[in-house]
Amino acid sequence: MQQNIRDAKLKNLRAYITDFIKQVVENGNHFEKSHFFMLLSNLNAEEIEEPQIVASIKIIIGHLEVTDFEYVQFNQGLRDAAQQKAYFDIRRKIFEEE
């Protein structure tokens, strides 16, 4: 039962991210770093720590060529301490060399 709830939450979160990106593009814009950071600011700490979300963030960061410095600047600007800690905790995973 617990796993089903987690799976449903993760499915909804993936749909939210996809819909966010789709809406930006359908409005005639390119999905840029500013949109990406806006998307990140809407995730909560629990969502940020999901392995599939970490992998998604890593892919988008690579595509948009977000630098470690830009990511740190974004994170320092967050007001939610739990959210800030979650982004700090995944930083090494998303900027690790392959």
Full domain range(s) for residue 34 = 2-94
Q: Is the pLDDT of residue 57 over 60?
A: yes
Q: Is the pLDDT of residue 42 over 60?
A: yes
- Grade residue 5 by pLDDT with cuts at 50, 70 and 90: confident
Helical pair 68-76 and 33-41, crossing angle rounded to 10 deg: 40
Q: How many CB atoms lie within 10 A of CB 85?
A: 15
pLDDT score recorded for residue 97: 65
Distance CA 55, CA 35 (A): 18
Distance CA 72, CA 60 (A): 16
User: How many domains, in total, are found in the chain?
Assistant: 1
Distance CA 71, CA 61 (A): 9
Q: How many CB atoms lie within 10 A of CB 22?
A: 11
pTM of the complete model: 0.88
